[in-house]
Structure 1
Amino acid sequence: MKLNLHRNKRHFVRTMSLWLLVLALALPVTGCGSSSSGLGGSSQTLDIDYVGGDGEVTEEEVAAKKESPMDWLKQKLSGDKKKAGVNGREDISQYTDNTTVQDLYGVTSDSADVKSEKASHEESTSEAADNSGQSTVEIPKKDNTSGNVDIPLPDRNDNSGKNNSNSGKEQNTTKKNTVTFTIRCDTAVANGMAKDPKWAGIVPASGCILPVITMEFEEGETVFDLLCRIRDTYKLQMEYSGANGGQYIEGINNLYEFDGGRWSGWMYCVNSWYPNYGCGQYTVSAGDVIEWNYTCDLGCDLPNGDPYGYGKEWKENHD
């Protein structure tokens, strides 16, 4: 009896030893392990070889194709500012198949040109600000009826004293070429936007964003060129798309197309006439009266804002 118990005990010990050995040999194959990093911590690592039919694919190549949650979040948050909206700006995607104020001007935008145009203009603007050292000019509160120039031409004189003195005499004797310029959003006020808190600071109750000012211009400058100088002088928010004469103004003072409804947007007027082509193609002349007006009805709500009947025709033929 004692002999049998002794044999059974030896068989049990031998079996357990064998299983422990097998388990010890199997542990390194599982791929789980730890490696120490420094004296105070350790990092868990998982070594895996990815092998395909055409050859070996490294772990780094697989990891590079994965998009981390943080990268996905950054991509979602870096969308178009206009579509993301400020002050609850509505989504304009539902209007992409319908007529807009932009269509009335026949403007087509090249995204590459837009980016390069904006980048070059922002760089030149920042350089001019650094060189001038001038602070922001406050926007006038009343119309300029005195005839004085609110925004003169940029100082392009060189640093040679003789040339500067001569050019100064020439400027004093030469008659200045000037135009008047104003920006208004009376139609937005009429639609009640000025009473809505979300448009505070964007749609003034008076409807006047920029009162009538008088400014000089150089030969060959366009309505778009003058608007850019006004933006830079008064630090007025303005966003546009298009380039090479096809610029389309999307927003001024953070008031954008579609903010006032399906048919809303910015239109420019020269001498009581609304041209049917882009502001980058209209070359200004001395004495021009230039207006930027916001429309909520494809120009039909502006005096002479739909001279060709395009807006009315589009609304009649489109739901």
Structure 2
Amino acid sequence: MLDKDFLVLDDRFRRYAMGNVHIEKLWTGSRWAEGPAYFAAGKYLIWSDIPNDRLLRYDETDGSVSVFQTPCYNQNGHTVDLEGRLIACEHRGRAVTRIEHDGSRKILADRFEGKKLNSPNDVVVKSDGSIWFTDPTYGIDGEYEGDYAVSEIGACNVYRIDPSNGGVTAVITDMVRPNGLAFSPDEKILYVADTGLTHKPDCSPDIRAYPVNSDGKGVGVGRRFVTCDQGLFDGFRVDVHGNIWSSAADGVHCFTPDGKLIGKILIPEVVANVTFGGRKRNRMYICGTTSLYSVYLNTQGALRPKV
């Protein structure tokens, strides 16, 4: 018997939504929860509470929650790099940074062609060590999630940081407000959500799919992959089967690799982002507006392919 909060739209979803498994509310108290990243070695999750300018830490061993870092430059999205270090998108810092093994903060990118970045939002590390991130204006649109400023670049792009020399290149320039992003399991497709509806009323709330070039350093022409039927897509993750698990206004939407919406995990708050964690990578952590939720699924988060 499936929990009432699993909405089955296609029988294929029953493969992933297990019976007698329930959505758990782990903690509440955020103003805008975002940016979850799981650290397997420490058995803990960190996530952002952007307006409160803090990172929170959930300890999987005992269920406790503590403040991991404050202030934190109004960090938003996070990921873990090939060496287990935290990569962060800073709204107020207007930078992508890395926490080194000794705890120091290293700026990886804060400018493009000599101009300040807007406010990096979400980030992913490819198997070659390159870092790909989105740069909309949400952190400089006002004072709530960062510091108000006028965009120096005048556009919102997706960028790549080269692992060999730290160079920053624009890889996608045709989106209104690029937001969440993830690679397919084989890294042949880069998926990117466009939340431009917040600024442009005719912008479709899509996840777009971009074919990755053969050299792995850029992408080809993108196409509409899926459109959100409840609010906007924000952050999302891909599982080992190539399914996309995306945030939305009513919870988490699951799409097959061919773009079919097969089911939803209903959450009583707007969801901003998700990630896979746990010993088997089969526990989905869900950042609702004010709360952290989790649910076990019969699938696992995709691993980077070996180079």
Tell whether the structures are fold-level matches, with TM greater than 0.5: no
Name the larger-Rg structure. 1
TM-score of the superposition, structure 1-length normalised? Answer: 0.23
Q: Which has the higher helix share?
A: 1
Q: Which has the higher strand share?
A: 2
